[in-house]
Amino acid sequence: MSRPVRVLMWIVGLAIAAYLIVLALLWAQQGRLIYPAPTALTPPTGGFEQVTYRTSDGLDLAAGYRAGEPGKPTILYFHGNGADWVSSVVATDRLVPSGYGVLAAEYRGYRGNPGTPHEDGLYRDGRAALAFLATRGIAAGDVVIIGNSIGSGVAVQMASEQVPQALVLISPFASLRQLVGEKMRWVPSGLLLRDRYENAEKIAGIDAPLLLLHGDADTLIPDTHSRQLGRLRDDAKLVIFEGKGHDLAWHDEAEEAVLSFLDTLNTRGTER
């Protein structure tokens, strides 16, 4: 074997080894990458009380709750991966004055809660949030589930298990596996990812009115994901906001779109 061939083989072997090391690091650290829980804790605001509910695997999670006016639905809000439940207070500050109750759900490993976040764990957390509302006399049919960003994965799963009054997804992905595959084409996401949040596989089977909101300037999760989800439900309402990015949930326009959607549902219910 000639020296140039040996050098080429050595370079190729080194590149393969480096690639495998990077994949191993991504495999080991994916939890931290997917769930970057904020370290700074802002104080609760907006008249929310801190409540605690227990998950099926024995974790006591602290979250925020504000009761609604009699006869008004309650919003069950699942926030994104880089926020905590107090951010949900800001994202619902135009819904509360309209009389809606809000349970700003929280996840394991976030805002001082015990446990480590992962897909199955967040589903357990979502079920515990619904169970908490049931203890307050609020059935699933009186709940509007809203999921922002990674919270869309929890929201979709909960809506597939218990039929809510409505489902609202803000800046959602079709699936986390698909999103990672688009962002990191050199990564075998189908093999690497432990958490996948396959929203596209579940959305058609959900028997609740669906609103999809997305900004066309979202560089983290492109609006093509909402468009893909919308095509899977003929009755879905899709609103694309020009110039808005991944922080859409905190813009007044997003809340106004939710209010308009819910008002339409309530009007239909009254007409029946």
Number of Cβ within 10 Å of residue 242's Cβ equals 7
Mean pLDDT confidence for 15-23: 55
Given the structure tokens 């029946």, which residue do they identify?
272
pLDDT of residue 42: 74
Out of 3.20.20.70, 3.40.50.150, 1.10.3720.10, 3.40.50.1820, the CATH code matching 35-271 is 3.40.50.1820
pLDDT at 265 over 90: no
pLDDT at 141 over 90: yes
Q: Which amino acid is at 35?
A: Y
User: Tokens in use for 44?
Assistant: 């609760």
Query: CA triplet 82, 253, 268: central angle to 5 degrees?
Result: 110
Q: Is the pTM of this model over 0.95?
A: no
pLDDT of residue 46: 74
